[in-house]
Amino acid sequence: MKAKTVDRIMTGVIVGVAVLIIAVLAGLLGYLLVRGLRHISLDFLLSPPQTIKAGGGIGPQLFNSLFLLVLTMIITIPLGLGAGIYMSEYAKPNRLTAFIRLIVEVLSSFPSIVVGLFGLLVIVNMFGLGFSLFSGALALTVFNLPLMVRITEQSLRSVPREQKEAGLALGLSRWRTITSVLLPVAIPSIVTGTILAAGRVFGEAAALLFTAGMSSPRLDFSDWNPLHHTSPLNPFRPAETLAVHIWKINSEGLAPDAAQIAAGASAVLVITVLIFNLGARWLGRVLYRKLTASK
């Protein structure tokens, strides 16, 4: 009798907490979208910002965010895959491995403002890379790489042991077994995890303030030579991203419509991250069906 009462109360509490969390999330999302959607137009998405006049857009910032994401992923995906494969398939279970794993955990949970300051000291100043997309990408690598390692390692570990043994028993080498038996099974969850991690990179601001910088040079969107100074593709130019832009106009925006621009930009950011999340799940399912021929 008493156990039953406790059970009822606890169930009630858990359901209550869940409802509360969902309500807060839905409220937050609704608020951001309702406030922001009104200001989103094609012109807003494509045109450059204005300093003191109304009617500025977020074109360069949106481009910077996407480009920075691509740069970061170019660095972290190969390294993360390599390290993840090593950790799951080659590392012996000893102290060194445990130590590496600890460091990976610590790195991925570093406060991003600390990573930003570290980037300023080491990447921007010591290595002289200046405020640039490349510096920003390196700073983002600090917490994106550990995530990639962990995603890869866990995805590989979750492949049933029998699959691996089937490959080895056919006389495939260890490496062949990894690339042609384990990876095809693990790829859907690696891809899903990678895109989810990309969402975090996309929304990151604190680590970029002092690395990618808070300004963008005037960009010439007709010049795609990455070596030119005003080319959008130049990785060594400073670049204000969308998240940094929101922070900046909220704290020091001079344009009369700063509040609306911040609201619009926030909505764009949220929608993009949502698209990342939904897209990740969708792509994961599609890849799984394709790679496992389970149509």
Partner 1 sequence: MIIEIERLQLYYSAFHALKNVNLSIPENRVTAFIGPSGCGKSTLLRTLNRMNDTIPGVRIEGEVTIQGRNIYGSETEVEFLRKRVGMVFQQPNPFPKSIYDNVAYGPRLHGVTKKAELDGIVERSLRSASLWQEVKDVLKKSAWSLSGGQQQRLCIARALAVEPEILLMDESTSALDPISTTKIEELTRELREKYTIVMVTHNMHQAARISDRTVFFLNGEVVEASDTEALFRSPVDQRTEDYISGRFG
Question: Which residues of this protein are in contact with partner 1, per CB under 8 A?
Answer: 92-93, 160, 162-163, 165-166, 168-173, 176, 180-181, 184-185, 291-295
Which position has the token pair 């907490």?
17
The CB-of-161 to partner 1 minimum distance in angstroms stands at: 9
- Residues 219 and 202: their CA atoms lie apart, in Å, by 20
Smallest gap, in angstroms, from Cβ of residue 169 to partner 1? 4
Closer to partner 1 by Cβ: residue 101 or 200: 101
| Nearer Cβ to partner 1 (22/170) | 170
> Is the Cβ of residue 164 or residue 245 nearer to partner 1 in the bound state?
164
- Shortest distance, position 275 Cβ to partner 1, whole Å: 28
Residue 8: Cβ-neighbour burial (10 angstroms; 0-12, 13-18, 19+): exposed
**245, burial (CB in 10 Å: exposed 0-12, middle 13-18, buried 19+):** buried
d(CA 190, CA 168): 22
131: left (phi over 0), alpha (psi -120 to 50) or beta: beta
Q: Which is nearer to partner 1, 126 or 293 (CB)?
A: 293
Closest contact distance (angstroms) between CB of 121 and partner 1 is 41
Judge residue 182's burial from the number of C-beta atoms within 10 Å of its C-beta, 0-12 exposed, 13-18 middle, 19 or more buried: buried
**The three-state (H, E, C) secondary structure of 200-229, written as one string:** HHHHCCHHHHCCCCCCCCCCCCCCCCCCCC
Q: How far is the CB of 286 from partner 1 (least distance, A)?
A: 15
The residue (of 178 and 261) whose beta carbon lies closer to partner 1 is 178
Contact 168, 100 (CB under 8 A): no
Whether residue 272 contacts residue 198, with contact meaning beta carbons closer than 8 Å, is answered with no
Which amino acid does the sequence have at 230? T
* Residue 89 or 223 with smaller CB distance to partner 1: 89
CB of 86 to partner 1, least distance (A): 16
